Structure 1
Amino acid sequence: MKVIIDYDTVMFEFKIECNDSTIQNSLKQTIKDNQGKRITDWVKEFIKKVKEETNNDPFAMKIIGCDLYEEQYIKELFNEINIEFEKTVDDKDIQDKYKAIDNFLEYAEKSKEDIVKNALRPNIENIKTHRSTIIEIPVIATMSSGKSTLLNALIGKDYLPEDTGATTATTCDIIVNNHLHNFIGKAIFDGKEEKNTNGNISEFLKDWNLKANENINDKNDEKKYPDLKLQIEGFIPNLNTSNFNLHFIDTPGPNSSQHSHHKEKTFSYLKDNQNLPIVLYVLDPEKMDSKDDDFTLDEISKVFKNNNKSIDRIIFVYNKIDREDIEEKSIKEILNKVESFLERKGIKNAKIFPISAQYAKFAQIENNLTNKKKSDLRNYRDNFIHNIDDNYKGYQLLEYAPLTNSQREQLRKTITNGELDSELVYSGLAALKLYLEDYIINHHKKTQYKELKTIANKVYKQIETSIQLEEERLEEITEGQKKEKEENQKKDIAILDKKKKEAIEDINKIKVDKNFIEQKSREFTMSFNDIKNKTFQREELSKNEAIKLIEETNEVIKNMQISIKTDLISEMNNQLHKYLENIKKITKDKFSLDANNIEINAFNAEMENSVNAININQLHKYQEEKVETITREIESKWWIKRKLNWKVTEEHKVSKTIIKIVDLYRDTLEPYSKTFTITLEDYKQNFIEKFCNIHDSFINRIETEFENTKNNIFEKYTSSMSEDKIHKVMKLKELKKLTIDIKNFRRN
């Protein structure tokens, strides 16, 4: 069985086909539930569903249209399934699609046309929202779960107060600004702003949290610091923001009884499908049996069930993992317990990062720690880092973080960078940071442009509809006249379309005759075979015989070159001219093409691979001296032998020059045969290419003429209007064409 997923990586829309109709029907609801979600959000559950439907029988899968990140993610998730990826969209294509969306919206915003402005107006605020480069990352949990400790670990400082009383006071935004060397603090209230001046951010925040508590406890209607909000801004090491403005937010716990606004603000982050904040929800091992988290987790479960956006933006941080005894229970068992806890709350497939925020923070501020805390840091190192000598594996948090294999490998390499980098990996913080970095570029930005494209489609559709309505309004004719006009227009276009199809069909019927080239090739082969046969009749030749053979070969070469320059090239040019005239004749009666300027470049009468005659003076390379013994009869010196007619013989040595025929053929004669074969093949390919160029040129001109004539037909049926109205209609057509041209992201 084979399942095919045709996926749009920009709009998160997809179609699924299965060659088993029963399973196809059973997947309908799954397909409906996941439309609008990114494939990485649902592919795991989808494949699980397919396995259930097939009773775990083997099946193949093809996925069309993923981006590189999605492909890698799925490959690592399902290496046991035969998954074929087709038409993978690379990063450049993604950026081109983003640019096309931006271009269209920019055009719409700058346009002075009322139709465009009216279509854009209801969407302006929505566009601004989704174009925002600010990404809020609220840290949410019940009180004293370690939210502020986690944020201190993320920024690598000990700035945010971590005691219960302070954290319930007010929110604090931590703005990432990699251009600042030192953090600055701000207190904003009643339209005023107060900055820290002494550089001690920790004391600044403590003081203002005390004032915030006074604000809450003040029973008077007039607060001393109305709408108080705290901010700190500065550089966060080892965090790539991808040019987004990240705002980490330390929120008071939603279960705080002091201020109901805390709960409202927390839930607004969870349900914000416009700005899409990335939510870090901190789970405390010591409070999971209490009911402090219940209400918030119930709200999160609703988001997971009902939200059609990416749920990967809600991340669970299982903090204080150091409180778990891994000698009694493995990290895997601990995380299974957390997963089961969340599933009981209705939250499935959650991203859970095991972390010791305290360890990560201590490692980064080691030089400022007290002796007691330095001792705590040494204990963290002993517990978390593996020890080969003791065969102790440590906490191994990296292996259980919800990362891809390539992300894990990236972090393993950072362990060798130095002690601090390795401790951030061992504490689990580096895994969380890397996930945030990759999520911003691979999820948040994609979701942002998915929404922008939806808006752009909506604006384009409204422009298109408005143009159509305006065109109809300008046509002051009766319904009967309109119907007659439309029918005549359709008839004329149908006739025109038929002409185009017939012309293209007739052109495609003309075949390219290459037989004369192949015949010439056979003639040349036979000529060289004759020479070869004469050459190998004997093993050796005298020098004079070799000279005669070379002269004969040179004559053959000369005749071949003359044949190419006259017969072959002439026939090739004749064939091309004949083909050109045939096409002109075919199209002449159907379209008024300007075909007279379509001419061919004749083949050059000179051979492209010119062959020189064999140089007889090179024969010395192949000659050798051969000595023979010759026996002949002579007259005897003795009269008695002459009388008896006895035969007397005499031997003597004779030297002569011979030519090694095998070497001569291999080095001199045979290469000429190959040269002519290559030359003829080059001419053949050039010949075919010229045919194709003529063919394509005519097809393109027919298509262009078809469009021009069709436009003339449209113009013909608007001639009954006044010149003013004709001008307006033409302006609408220009607007329509411009809008379509700019909105080329429709071609995704």
Structure 2
Amino acid sequence: MAKKIFIKYNPYRLQTEITIDGKPVKQNSKFNVGEKRLQEWIDKLPEYVEEEFNKSDIEIVFYGTKLDYEDLKEIADEANIKTEYRPAKEGVANKEAAIQAVFEKIQNGPIDDLKSPDVIRAFKQAQSNDFEVSVVATMSSGKSTVINALLGKKLMPSYNQACTATITRIKDNDSNEYTAKVFDNDGNVLKEISRLTYEHMSTFNKENISKIQVEGDIPFVDANDTNLVLVDTPGPNNARNKKHQTTTFNALNDSPKTVVLYILNATQLATNDDNVLLSSVAENMKSGGKRSHDRFIFVLNKLDLYNPKEESISEVLDKAKEYLESNGIKNPNIYPASALTALNIQTILASEVVDDDDDEVYDAIGKVKKFNKNKEFHFENYAPLQKSRQERIDLKLKQAISNNDIKKQAFIHSGIPSIEEAISLYVEKYAKTAKIKNIVDTFENRLESADTLAKLQKQMASNKEEQEKLAKKIEFIEKNINDGNQAKKYKEKIESLNADKELEDGKNKIIRDAQKLVRESLLNAVCKIKLEK
């Protein structure tokens, strides 16, 4: 008879419940995963199963979100473990908006300690934390073109020199106009630009400019949903500013708040600078399980330069995989792309009327035809996306074919939409759930802090009505104690009654009720997934 493992997982609270044949797992079992994110241990699932049961007849029933189930199923399928999915019903679709509503309700409520400026600041900070996508590459990889393709606009210039010398942060605010603040090496604002252009950015890679903060539209995300920031990082061979080298390597450090978009030149894979960066990537991918694996997205750019009659795209991808694995990176997520094709479709071919005699236009039209005609260049088919995200890409392509939109078809084939889905997937699976947990923890920790309890106790103790009740009770007891005939009887009654304990219990009940009110509002009404069958 098959062993049945039941896993119930809530990513918004990092709560995992596991039973085996209906019984809780043993204390020393590897299945006691604690408050770990599912993706931090799920790659060890086959190992845990073998150690626990030493048999192959296993069935796992998973109860949670679809994205988390897809991660579990991928690992289970590789180990020939049967799985069954029971979807969780989330009571609130837009949890961030619901949390905001509860926060406003609490701010108008009776608990003063939850209305203090520091609590408001903590909530706002948790709500507005930026999520960074650090774009990392060495020379001639097409990094700037990839960023421009993600922006749908030619904004970042390409440099012939060794690498970008400035750090550019592009924060999404859904505005069609881009603005910028330019900083020197001492952090002083050199200039502010209300309408940023490619020409402005081309002049900024100067020695006295250290950082550029840009705000504008990143089309594939919604600013109300995610505070996404694209970070163009300096390469490791930047000799101008050693601090910038540190910034680049820090971006590789294991942090769930940062996705690393590592750009590789398909026509020139092996470089010394790549070896330096990739060794750091490999080190960071050793810890954190699947989550660490997911946060590194390798973009194999310039694949359109290959002739599939001489070498297939699959062979080129295999070589890239071998190259990364030779640098210690196991089973890398490699996304094939032609960023230039995607960018040209969004810019020079965006107009309904184009000049066919223009060389750039002529080349761009040729690429559209090439990508649509040759299935070898349907890069979306090679992308290692989760099933649900691949289905979204397939649907977009189906709609483009139905509308006879050849430019949209070629854009999807370019691989850039698949990369956008990979970034969005990480945001939804990790960043958004962490953000919600952080917001709720802010309230819980504050509510349960010593200061809060002390203040509530003090408020209770200062309640005149309760004080009067206590005084009368004490007076009555003391009176009877002084009556010699009743002394022994009432002394025994005092010992059993314990008036101080009774009052303390009353105070604690009020405190518990206050905690319960806020906790239920936050967890049940907002972000504790109602895992109902």
Where on the TM-score scale, by shorter chain, does this alignment land: which range?
Answer: 0.7 to 0.9
Task: Confirm whether residue 291 of structure 1 aligns to residue 278 of structure 2.
Answer: no
Other-structure match for 2:510: 734
Other-structure match for 2:247: 265
> Is the Cα contact below 8 Å between 1:76 and 1:405 reproduced in 2?
no
Query: 2-side partners of 1:272 and 1:237: how far apart?
Result: 27
Other-structure match for 1:245: 227
Other-structure match for 2:200: 204
Instruction: Kindly provide the amino acid, as one letter, of the partner of residue 82 in structure 2.
Output: N
2:234 is paired with a residue whose SS is coil
Instruction: Kindly provide the amino acid, as one letter, of the partner of residue 420 in structure 2.
Output: K
Q: 1:200 to 1:469 in 2, by over 3 A?
A: closer
The alpha carbon displacement at 1:330 in A equals 3.6
> Is the Cα contact below 8 Å between 1:133 and 1:244 reproduced in 2?
no
Give the TM-score, by structure 2 length. 0.73
Task: Confirm whether residue 407 of structure 1 aligns to residue 380 of structure 2.
Answer: no
Query: 1-side partners of 2:68 and 2:410: how far apart?
Result: 30
Task: Confirm whether residue 192 of structure 1 aligns to residue 186 of structure 2.
Answer: no
Task: Confirm whether residue 380 of structure 1 aligns to residue 380 of structure 2.
Answer: no
Q: 1:183 aligns with which of 172, 178, 189?
A: 178
> Is the Cα contact below 8 Å between 2:43 and 2:290 reproduced in 1?
no
Instruction: Kindly provide the amino acid, as one letter, of the partner of residue 443 in structure 1.
Output: Y
The alpha carbon displacement at 1:717 in A equals 4.1
Q: 1:435 to 1:743 in 2, by over 3 A?
A: same
> Is the Cα contact below 8 Å between 1:68 and 1:90 reproduced in 2?
no
Query: 2-side partners of 1:148 and 1:446: how far apart?
Result: 30
> Is the Cα contact below 8 Å between 1:101 and 1:453 reproduced in 2?
no
Other-structure match for 2:474: none
Q: 1:67 aligns with which of 39, 58, 65?
A: 65
Query: 2-side partners of 1:25 and 1:331: how far apart?
Result: 49
Query: 2-side partners of 1:431 and 1:109: how far apart?
Result: 45
The CA deviation string for residues 141-186 of structure 1, in whole angstroms up to 9 with x for no partner, is: 2233221110111112222111133852212222333233x43444
Instruction: Kindly provide the amino acid, as one letter, of the partner of residue 386 in structure 1.
Output: K
Note the residue ranges of structure 2 that are not aligned, 5 or more in a row: 462-492, 529-533
Q: 1:366 to 1:326 in 2, by over 3 A?
A: same
Other-structure match for 1:673: none
> Is the Cα contact below 8 Å between 1:100 and 1:743 reproduced in 2?
no
**Please, what is the CA RMSD of the aligned residues?**
4.4
> Is the Cα contact below 8 Å between 1:316 and 1:353 reproduced in 2?
yes
Query: 2-side partners of 1:13 and 1:60: how far apart?
Result: 21
The CA deviation string for residues 268-299 of structure 1, in whole angstroms up to 9 with x for no partner, is: 3333747x133212122344322312333233
The CA deviation string for residues 72-105 of structure 1, in whole angstroms up to 9 with x for no partner, is: 565677677532234x323435756984698479
> Is the Cα contact below 8 Å between 2:131 and 2:228 reproduced in 1?
yes
Task: Confirm whether residue 11 of structure 1 aligns to residue 13 of structure 2.
Answer: yes
> Is the Cα contact below 8 Å between 2:43 and 2:289 reproduced in 1?
no
Q: 1:82 to 1:267 in 2, by over 3 A?
A: same
> Is the Cα contact below 8 Å between 2:173 and 2:223 reproduced in 1?
no
> Is the Cα contact below 8 Å between 1:11 and 1:36 reproduced in 2?
no
Task: Confirm whether residue 719 of structure 1 aligns to residue 495 of structure 2.
Answer: no
Other-structure match for 1:235: 217
Query: 2-side partners of 1:350 and 1:109: how far apart?
Result: 50
Instruction: Kindly provide the amino acid, as one letter, of the partner of residue 742 in structure 1.
Output: V
Alignment of 1:292-691 (within 5 A): 292-307=273-288, 310-311=291-292, 312-367=294-349, 371-387=358-374, 393-415=375-397, 416=400, 417=403, 418-463=405-450, 466=453
> Is the Cα contact below 8 Å between 2:169 and 2:232 reproduced in 1?
yes
> Is the Cα contact below 8 Å between 1:142 and 1:253 reproduced in 2?
yes
The alpha carbon displacement at 1:464 in A equals 9.8
> Is the Cα contact below 8 Å between 1:158 and 1:365 reproduced in 2?
yes
Query: 2-side partners of 1:129 and 1:357: how far apart?
Result: 35
Other-structure match for 1:608: none
Deviates more, 1:247-256 or 1:50-59: 50-59
Q: 1:309 to 1:54 in 2, by over 3 A?
A: closer
Q: 1:469 to 1:131 in 2, by over 3 A?
A: closer
1:353 is paired with a residue whose SS is strand
Query: 2-side partners of 1:247 and 1:272: how far apart?
Result: 18
Greater RCO (CA < 8 Å, at least 6 residues apart):
2
Query: 1-side partners of 2:90 and 2:316: how far apart?
Result: 38
Note the residue ranges of structure 1 that are not aligned, 5 or more in a row: 216-224, 388-392, 475-712
The CA deviation string for residues 467-509 of structure 1, in whole angstroms up to 9 with x for no partner, is: 69979xx9xxxxxxxxxxxxxxxxxxxxxxxxxxxxxxxxxxx
Query: 1-side partners of 2:193 and 2:95: how far apart?
Result: 44
Query: 1-side partners of 2:331 and 2:364: how far apart?
Result: 33
Q: 1:426 to 1:735 in 2, by over 3 A?
A: same
- The structure with the largest helix share of the pair is 1
Other-structure match for 2:471: none
Other-structure match for 1:547: none
Other-structure match for 2:166: 170
The alpha carbon displacement at 1:71 in A equals 3.5
Query: 2-side partners of 1:166 and 1:233: how far apart?
Result: 26
Instruction: Kindly provide the amino acid, as one letter, of the partner of residue 85 in structure 1.
Output: Y
Task: Confirm whether residue 143 of structure 1 aligns to residue 139 of structure 2.
Answer: yes
Query: 2-side partners of 1:52 and 1:265: how far apart?
Result: 42
> Is the Cα contact below 8 Å between 2:149 and 2:339 reproduced in 1?
yes
Other-structure match for 2:36: 36
Structure ID, larger Rg: 1
Q: 1:29 to 1:296 in 2, by over 3 A?
A: farther
Q: 1:109 to 1:49 in 2, by over 3 A?
A: farther
The alpha carbon displacement at 1:132 in A equals 1.6
Q: 1:69 to 1:377 in 2, by over 3 A?
A: same
Deviates more, 1:311-320 or 1:143-152: 311-320
1:299 is paired with a residue whose SS is helix
Identity of aligned residues (%): 25
Q: 1:16 to 1:299 in 2, by over 3 A?
A: farther
Instruction: Kindly provide the amino acid, as one letter, of the partner of residue 279 in structure 2.
Output: D
Query: 1-side partners of 2:202 and 2:326: how far apart?
Result: 38
Q: 1:93 to 1:205 in 2, by over 3 A?
A: closer
Give the TM-score, by structure 1 length. 0.54
> Is the Cα contact below 8 Å between 1:63 and 1:84 reproduced in 2?
yes
Query: 2-side partners of 1:329 and 1:52: how far apart?
Result: 44
Query: 2-side partners of 1:408 and 1:69: how far apart?
Result: 12
Other-structure match for 1:157: 153
Q: 1:470 to 1:235 in 2, by over 3 A?
A: closer
The alpha carbon displacement at 1:203 in A equals 1.4
The alpha carbon displacement at 1:47 in A equals 4.4
Query: 2-side partners of 1:109 and 1:269: how far apart?
Result: 41
Query: 1-side partners of 2:169 and 2:274: how far apart?
Result: 23
The alpha carbon displacement at 1:400 in A equals 1.4
The alpha carbon displacement at 1:139 in A equals 1.0
The alpha carbon displacement at 1:449 in A equals 2.0
Q: 1:51 to 1:399 in 2, by over 3 A?
A: farther
2:132 is paired with a residue whose SS is strand
> Is the Cα contact below 8 Å between 1:464 and 1:736 reproduced in 2?
no
Query: 2-side partners of 1:330 and 1:42: how far apart?
Result: 36
Q: 1:242 to 1:410 in 2, by over 3 A?
A: farther
Other-structure match for 2:489: none
Query: 1-side partners of 2:151 and 2:96: how far apart?
Result: 34
The CA deviation string for residues 292-349 of structure 1, in whole angstroms up to 9 with x for no partner, is: 1233323333332234793323322222222444434443343343334334444345
